[in-house]
Structure 1
Amino acid sequence: MIVSSKTVPFVDLTLQHQPIQAEIEQAMATVVQRGDFILGKTLKEFETEFAQASGVKHGVGVASGTDAIALGLQACGILPGDEVLVPANTFIATVIGVIQAGATPILVDCDPHTALIDLNLAAKAITPKTKAIVPVHLYGQMVSPTALLDFAKAHNLIIFEDAAQAHLAQREGYKAGSVGMAAAFSFYPSKNLGAFGNGGMLVTSNEEVAQRVRTLRNYGAPKKYYHTEVGKNSRLDTLQAAILQVKLPYLSQWNQLRNQAGQIYDQGLKSGKNKGVIPMKNLSKGGHVYHLYVIRISEASSWSREQVQEFLGERGIQTGIHYPIPCHLQPAYKSLGYQLGDFPQAEMLCEEILSLPMYPGITSEQIAWVIEQLSLI
């Protein structure tokens, strides 16, 4: 076994947090001094600022990205019995959000070159019960907004974006979160904009949708002790909002650094395609925010993905898999009625994908080390 003296972590949050630690501590201290820990002043400010940064009018902070999907779909008018189109290769939270909204997730295969939902296949999955599509802007790249808008118009569907991995991503003149009726974001710590715990946000330009989510997140109460709906307790803590508010002004710069790192990877891995090392395609150019940098270890490679992971790990390079099991093959969701073979592209990707180190501050030397090691397989 080879143990390398070089280390390339999969993610290094300290590079983001150390330079702004004093700002974060001051922001948290202000909330502590004010004592408005639930639905406080800083939360309202951050909701407005994040909505504006995303190109929409309203933001509603909730406890998680999953809740942003569930409550957001309800607020958009999705009812029990409705069907919602969802990519089969998303994180399971997308499916959970649809189910918690009372709807039925209808899974759709993906484009193997981008891992984004295949809208041609989505069209074939539509029934009279289909009311919405949840395009997942996976890995930091948006599904084509113009194609989505044309698709939704042709089939009379609501667009509800899952932008959990796409903070401030852009494509075709649109920002993530501004394409559909509403969108969900996650502030899980490793996201491009991450809290110090769980958190999420619903964004929309529809005032009625925003107000309904405000009600649903707060026990179904538009005002204290007056409950008009069966809601839940799902509020973004003011302390988390304070942390996120400090980090938001830096997000564009951090995204730019991620995109630059992605370009270095793309350039360095060009020759690897002949060996079966295939990067996911960037169709968004500078608008891709690279929450993850993902390659495929395809059938053309003489190495298995597990062998590549072990080889890189021995050389100090941490990797991940996002995600190893497609939604339809998860044991908890057998009741959806799918089986092996139903979504061949998603199944193939789940066997081949490998996420390489990616974070703001990763150096060109570190990326070069990853590329050099991949060239040896």
Structure 2
Amino acid sequence: MLSIKLAWRNIWRNKRRTIITTLSIVVAVFLSAITRSSQEGQYDNMLENTVGTFSGYIQIHKKGYQDTPTLNNSLGVSDSLYQIIKSEDNISSIIPRIESYSLAATGQQSRPAMIMGIDVEAEKELSQPQINLQQGSYFSSNNEQAAIIGQELLNRLNAQVGDSLVLIGQGYHGMNATGLYPIKGTVSFSNPDMNSSLVYLPLETAQYLFSAQGRLTSIALNLEDPTGIDVTADYLKSKLPASEYEVLTWQKMMPELEQAIKVDRASGIIILLVLYMVVGFGILGTVLMMIAERSYEFGVMLSVGTPRSTIAKILSLEVLIMSLMGAGFGIFLSIPVAWYFNVNPIDLSGAMASAVEQYNMTPVLQFSTDPEIFTSQALIVFGITLLFSIIPILKAAKLNPVDAMRS
């Protein structure tokens, strides 16, 4: 307790030095936490616009569908399959789909389109077409004869809500897939590809169009706890025969997205390492100066019999107290800033917005408020501060009393 009191009094003997040292730690924690928060926020945005609104965290396919995504590799639906899926508590919603490609036409205009047959109620839990509806109204049943298309596709077809949409393609086992449906509404997503090519059909209507009654190309799954994705996937793999089904996490379905996140995260860490080094050497210089200014004091203490370990202990406590104050204030300042930009993301514009949209992301800069970001950065800076203080403290503990007092 005496050592703590001495350390506390010592750090305030030179308030300017203490404030500068503490501020350097505060700035380091603040900048590193905000940098990581903005990065992780972008990753969350990316996942939300792909995994959270389109693919789901896990998908179940017929074996081979991932490599050859055709209707011929669609899977037959059974009650036992749904029972196995529902037996996993971490699965919050089950979204069945049948997907294929067709030519969409109205009048003199035609465009390639991605046809997505959806369960009109289950799909509300994933891509949420009822929320992204721009014009018209949503489907009322799974066998309704109507289509909802992307807003940009509607514009490219020079069509309006209420016009007839012709779909021409190939169905299950080479059957002709031709249909005529009124355009009931339009949807708009942050993903430009979906806006310019997506056509929603009710599930049974799409199955009839493709001559694939009772069949699905995928079953998308949302999770209560996304961090448990691997455990959930392993459970499903253990219950479903591997010869018939493939269970894929979003990382397996979109490896390029996972790789992009890893590369970007690595570049961010390199930037932070530079910041850490600057902070570390700043702390090193501060502690060396602190010891140089007090060399006479340490010489006197050694002369009257103060153990060298006590001097090292007091110096360590001084650095520890300043580190704790700096890390604490850094977290205290960074959390409100990150929270504000999480609730009020920065809208991007111009070339930057276009670049972001190319990756199917909403053109905003949204920060993450994951507590681990702030605690980890505070602990890292705290650890670096202590690490760079070891050499000066050891140097002070080895001072020669006579030389110290003469200096």
TM-score bracket, normalised by the shorter chain, equals: under 0.3
The alignment's TM-score, normalised by the length of structure 1, stands at: 0.22
If asked which structure has higher relative contact order (CA below 8 Å, sep 6+), I would say 2
* Higher relative helix content: 2
Larger strand percent: 2
Structure having the higher Rg: 2
